[in-house]
Structure 1
Amino acid sequence: MFELHAPYEFMLATARSLGAEVTSPWFYLQFGLMLAAGGMALAIGAAIRARLDMTSLAMGWPAPLRMFIRVLIGSASTAAFAVLITLARIVMLNSTWPSRSYLLAVSAKLALAWLVLRLVTSVIRNEFMVRVVSISAWLVAALSIVGQLQSTVDMLDSAGIDLGGFKLTPLLLIKLGVLLAVALWIANLASNFLEGRIRQTHDLTPSVQVLLIKLVRLLLMIFAIALVMGAVGINLSALAVFSGAVGVGIGFGLQKIVANFISGVILLADKSVKPGDLVTIGDSSGRISAMNTRYISVAAGDGREFLIPNEDLITQKVVNWTYTDKDTLVKVNFGTNYDADPRLVCKLAAEVAAASPRAEAHRPPNCLLAEFAEAGMKFSLTFWINSPDGMDAVKSDVMLSLWDAFKREGIRVPYPVRELRIRGGALPVETTVVEVPS
């Protein structure tokens, strides 16, 4: 159940403290000095950034140091504000009581804390993590500076909900969120490092590399989540109810997701398809550009990219043009009329196919007389190329060269001829008389 007495007392005490501070005339003097210092700091920061070229600044230096310098120049206004407020604080300390410049001291410390945090987080590449770490640490520093850190912690830890002996408080949620974000970020850095190492290992096939990368990333994420939950005091056995709910969800509505995940693991393990393979799945053909836990990406070569669920590769027929061998057989069907010499036609076709730049030299072309059809003879020309890439273009080039060879030798390609025979006399012709007015 909720406990709201402590938060109410904390907010009431904070309101009284603020009210006493605002009623003092020294508050408005300090506030005016802060406004003046803020305006001057903005002008100083703008002048510094205008005189320095942020693009060429520290060019050639190491990346972390270059980012540090750029963040320092970008935070020039904050640094100038901290310096100006500190000078104003020193002047007031020498002129009047220290309590009358308390607001200036707090402002200077807050500005200096933000400057230090911006410089420390400059080594982090992830912009989201920079904001999370900077804002969280600055809030903690601000509460510590004003002396309200312990009171705020006690307030956040006092209100909560009892869940079977486990108390869920706002403080616990904040700790869990911050630690989880940091842990997942570190796990992501570690997985990226290991991914680079795995990809540099040439002894592993591309499918095994993808499988190891996915497993390493998944295990690191699970380890990070379990470590954070243990650090904040959450007993993993308390998640048994949640695990049961997930199991029921899988049974009712997540079958496809789980099936695609398991199918993706199977595909990565059995190496039936791998990145770089040329495949045909149903009406979709292209080269596999990426394999994920839920789908594979097939680039069609014309700008389109098919996202095919992993389950379809397990349950449907898949044509892998490069499974064991990249050599591909190209078949060209054509016909000639009966005036042509079939032996000469087969010889010309084989010579044309052998002259193709993509034809395999160790596998000579073969031309067969396939059929004596009604309109002419039908032939089948087959030859091997070293890769299925551009197979249609190779086939077109061979057919064009074959057409030129036929023209040169006087061989004609048959075309359908229809004869109309009239029996029993001529067809009646109807005559129409048109009268022309005079």
Structure 2
Amino acid sequence: MRRLAAFAVAVFFTLTSLVAAQDTPQPDYTAWEKLASQAEQILQSGQANDARLEAIRAEVVKWRDQFRAAEGTNATRISTLKDQINALGPPPAEGQTESDDLATRRKSLNSQLSELQAPGLTAVEAFGRADGVVQQIDKTQRERQATALQRLAPTPLNPKNWAPALQEGYQVVAGISNEVMTRFQTQGGWQGARDWAPSVAIILLIAVLLLSKGRRWIDSLPSRLSARASERTRAALDFAVSLGQILVPLIGVILLVAALIVTNLFDQWGLPILFALPGAGLALFGAIWISRRLFPAQPGALPISLPLPEKPRAQARINGSFLGVALALHQVFGSAILPLSSFSGKTSADERIPLQITDASAAVWHLPIICLGAYFLFRFSSVLRHLPRYDSSENPPYRLRIGAIIGSAGRLVALVAPVLAAIGFVAGANALLWPMIMTMALIGLLILLQDFIADLYAMAKGGDKSARDGLVPVLVGFALVLASAPLFVLIWGARTAELSEFWSKMKQGVAFGGVRISPTGIFAFVAIFLIGYSITRAIQGAFRSTILPKTKIDAGGQNAIVSGLGYVGVILALMLAVTSAGVDLTSLALFASALSVGIGFGLQNIVSNFVSGIILLIERPITVGDWIEVGGKQGIVKRISVRSTHIQTFDRTEVIVPNSDFVSQSVTNWTRNNLSGRIIVPVGVAYGTDTRKVARVLAEIAEDQPTVLITPPPSVVFKGFGTDAMNFEIRAIVSDINGGTGVVSEINHQIAARFAQEGIELPFPQRDIWLRNPEALGTAPELEAKAAPESGDAQEVRDEAPQAPDATPAGTDHDDGAAGENAGYGERFERD
């Protein structure tokens, strides 16, 4: 079995090497030369229409892709030959010689290299020519499109153009009617209609039901489901079900068109109108759906995406729906019949219908549709302009700003477009008005999709409404906006070929400082880095929860190992991501040098903290769970990160200390090697107490504590004589210093109880106060007379009273001779 597996592996690698050794198939350069010459002649003549140019461009793009693939022909062998030539050393300088064998070998390798490089160089040359043809075609079509938009038709306000316009319109209707009648008679009349009448009748019946009854049923379905759904799923379910308000009637329109096409009664006159109906139906039903979702009639049933009071909300809903009606009319009449709608350069009018409608008649028919769309656009934009007045904290502020900006732009377009159409610039008016309406519709759709994504995320989070404002919905919504950028470009007249060309250029990348950056490279960088980061986190989790707990490494060491794995994993993931993106690290040497200078000046604190964090993880002076003191702060180490260390103080506050402080400052680690530590309990006793008895009682109390170590034993120290008491200290070593405060508290409780039992008196502060000249205080009546207000009687008493000497505190200088006589008098005060 093992031999069979080994044989299979050998065969696989052999086939792989054979396939890799095969040369890339070379393009047929003869056929390419013929096509390129024809394309260049057609472009030079300028006679080809847009359809012909698009066909030529598509063919040239295919050839260009082949040439791009052929540029890498013999790439592996060329790289090998270059390495062999470099191994020979630099070629001899002028006037110097090298050995014959070396010179012969160098010449042979250079000859092989030139031969192998020839197909790639030919492909590069052909690629440049093909790319030039494509760019010339794009330039020609852009010029035609600009010319068509600037085309001035006869003014539709001239009454002379109205009668021909009505006549040509009647000819279109008559042409459709005659076409249907002629083909009906050709197919055998009612007799021949029996073959398709039953199937057409069934399809028409289903279409009519979907258009008439289906929408009404779908309109009531969200409210019925919302009543039965839970709170967490109601918003998302309501949005998903409401999409049926577009799909159901649109399916009805498609079935209606299919039924009419099955009859085979329509041809050149009627088919353009039939083909335009699905697009018109999508515009109509989509506009109604977006208007109802953005501006609901019942705010309690649907979440309001844009804050508006009831009356402006109703106006926006109605005018938005009528914008869909105007856009649908433009789709039917403008795109299917009237030639001015095709002045963007995509299709010529004579290829669409048999009747060549004049520009004057087309302008007459376009003007009322443009005026209708402009009227409802102006009313709708007027409501949007006032969105900032109705600000709401539940809505992102950027929506209000975008709504106000798009409202102001819409009002301007609504005023300019009818004026342009009245002058005669009908194509320019169409190119300005309808893209503006579709831009508003797309912005509204993006808002609804962002809310739907937020509802889905909130539902995934268990119905937490605060999750709607989380980071994930915001990022997904931002990605959605970026993905919709090509749609905005297409709306405003860009061709899909131009978008594909832009994407092709982007895939080749943009050179920046010797590094080529491309979307695929960026995607590869992000994907590889996220994968590497995820693997790193998984390995960290496995070590933290499974491997390290089974070892004898302490908690701090385990944290250091896990953090080190994280650093190494992130660095490796970053390096792999950079190399997978196609970035040559050697090309970043200059950038790295400049960055190092910036680090030296502006980022030195960050680098210092980062290096200090690595030192902490390697030397481990502190670890997670240690009780430390640094910078006057005490607490338990909770986490050591790249830049800082998180300490939780004993009052449950979080202190973030830069790692450099642990390297540059002194740090006290109370639990560095073990948890044991010394506690000191001071206590004082009253004078006259038996000191030996006090020492014996305190020693017994300390020895009775369960966490106090016997080796070394606790000691009682008689510190000395204080002002009010004789001071003692209990000094003991506890097994866990983290519980030292509790031990001190328990010792104090037992000291109070034992001293009461033993009759040992706790001291209290005592003060002796001596007064000089106490007779100066006088009697109580005299003191009251002195404290009374300065009335006339009191003034007389004070004047008649004998002057007494001032009372002076002891220890102060006084010139009164009676001070010595009263020096022996004093009074003692005691304070508890």
What TM-score do you get using the length of structure 2 for normalisation?
Answer: 0.40
User: 3-state DSSP class of the match of 1:343?
Assistant: helix
| Alpha carbons 1:86, 1:104 under 8 Å: kept | no
User: Deviation per CA, 1:363-383, whole angstroms, max 9, x where unpaired?
Assistant: 653222233456543212022
Structure 2 partner of 1:404: 753
User: Deviation per CA, 1:67-123, whole angstroms, max 9, x where unpaired?
Assistant: xxx998476237636743455434433335574256489999x99xx9xx98xx98x
| Alpha carbons 1:45, 1:80 under 8 Å: kept | no
RMSD: 4.9
Q: CA deviation at 1:152?
A: 2.0
Query: Residue 643 of structure 2: which of 285, 294, 300 is its match?
Result: 294
| Alpha carbons 2:627, 2:671 under 8 Å: kept | yes
Percent identity over paired residues: 21
1:154 matched to 2:501: yes
User: 3-state DSSP class of the match of 2:614?
Assistant: helix
Structure 1 partner of 2:467: none
Amino acid at match of 1:238: S
Query: Residue 93 of structure 1: which of 234, 249, 258 is its match?
Result: 258
Structure 2 partner of 1:53: 230
User: Deviation per CA, 1:349-368, whole angstroms, max 9, x where unpaired?
Assistant: 12333444654577653222
CA distance in 2, matches of 1:321, 1:106: 74
Query: Residue 632 of structure 2: which of 283, 286, 311 is its match?
Result: 283
CA distance in 2, matches of 1:74, 1:12: 44
Q: CA deviation at 1:420?
A: 5.5
Q: How many residues align?
A: 391
Cα separation, partners in 2 of 1:418 and 1:104, compared to 1, 3 Å: same
| Alpha carbons 1:206, 1:275 under 8 Å: kept | yes
CA distance in 1, matches of 2:758, 2:708: 23
User: Deviation per CA, 1:377-415, whole angstroms, max 9, x where unpaired?
Assistant: 321202233323353343233223312322332212344
Cα separation, partners in 2 of 1:150 and 1:178, compared to 1, 3 Å: farther
Structure 2 partner of 1:24: none
1:191 matched to 2:368: no
CA distance in 2, matches of 1:376, 1:295: 48
Structure showing greater relative contact order (alpha-carbon pairs closer than 8 Å, 6 or more residues apart): 1
1:346-425 correspondence runs (5 A): 346-356=695-705, 358-360=707-709, 364-373=713-722, 375-419=724-768
| Alpha carbons 1:328, 1:388 under 8 Å: kept | yes
CA distance in 2, matches of 1:370, 1:90: 106
User: 3-state DSSP class of the match of 1:326?
Assistant: coil
Structure 1 partner of 2:428: none
User: Deviation per CA, 1:154-173, whole angstroms, max 9, x where unpaired?
Assistant: 225548865455555xxx2x
User: Deviation per CA, 1:126-159, whole angstroms, max 9, x where unpaired?
Assistant: 825971797389659979x999766424225548
Q: CA deviation at 1:247?
A: 0.4
Structure 2 partner of 1:248: 597
Q: Structure 2: give runs of 5+ residues left out of the alignment.
A: 1-134, 150-209, 262-270, 286-441, 462-470, 786-792, 798-832
| Alpha carbons 1:365, 1:383 under 8 Å: kept | yes
Q: CA deviation at 1:314?
A: 1.2
User: Deviation per CA, 1:29-50, whole angstroms, max 9, x where unpaired?
Assistant: xxxx99x999986764454343
Cα separation, partners in 2 of 1:399 and 1:431, compared to 1, 3 Å: closer
Structure 2 partner of 1:80: 244
CA distance in 1, matches of 2:229, 2:540: 38
User: 3-state DSSP class of the match of 1:272?
Assistant: coil
CA distance in 2, matches of 1:419, 1:72: 84
Amino acid at match of 1:92: V
1:147-186 correspondence runs (5 A): 151-156=498-503, 158=505, 162-163=511-512, 166=515, 172=518, 174-175=519-520, 177-186=522-531
Cα separation, partners in 2 of 1:223 and 1:325, compared to 1, 3 Å: closer
Structure 2 partner of 1:340: 689
Greater mean alpha carbon deviation, residues 252-261 or residues 407-416: 407-416
| Alpha carbons 2:486, 2:499 under 8 Å: kept | no
Which has more radius of gyration? 2
User: 3-state DSSP class of the match of 1:339?
Assistant: coil
CA distance in 1, matches of 2:254, 2:143: 27
User: 3-state DSSP class of the match of 2:635?
Assistant: strand
Cα separation, partners in 2 of 1:387 and 1:94, compared to 1, 3 Å: farther
Amino acid at match of 2:606: I
Cα separation, partners in 2 of 1:411 and 1:134, compared to 1, 3 Å: same
Which structure shows the bigger proportion of residues in helix conformation? 2
CA distance in 2, matches of 1:398, 1:14: 99
Q: CA deviation at 1:177?
A: 4.9
Q: CA deviation at 1:307?
A: 0.7
Structure 2 partner of 1:127: 472
CA distance in 2, matches of 1:290, 1:14: 67
1:311 matched to 2:660: yes
CA distance in 2, matches of 1:327, 1:152: 73
| Alpha carbons 1:44, 1:76 under 8 Å: kept | no
| Alpha carbons 1:207, 1:269 under 8 Å: kept | no
CA distance in 1, matches of 2:664, 2:583: 42
Which structure shows the bigger proportion of residues in strand conformation? 1
CA distance in 2, matches of 1:197, 1:231: 27
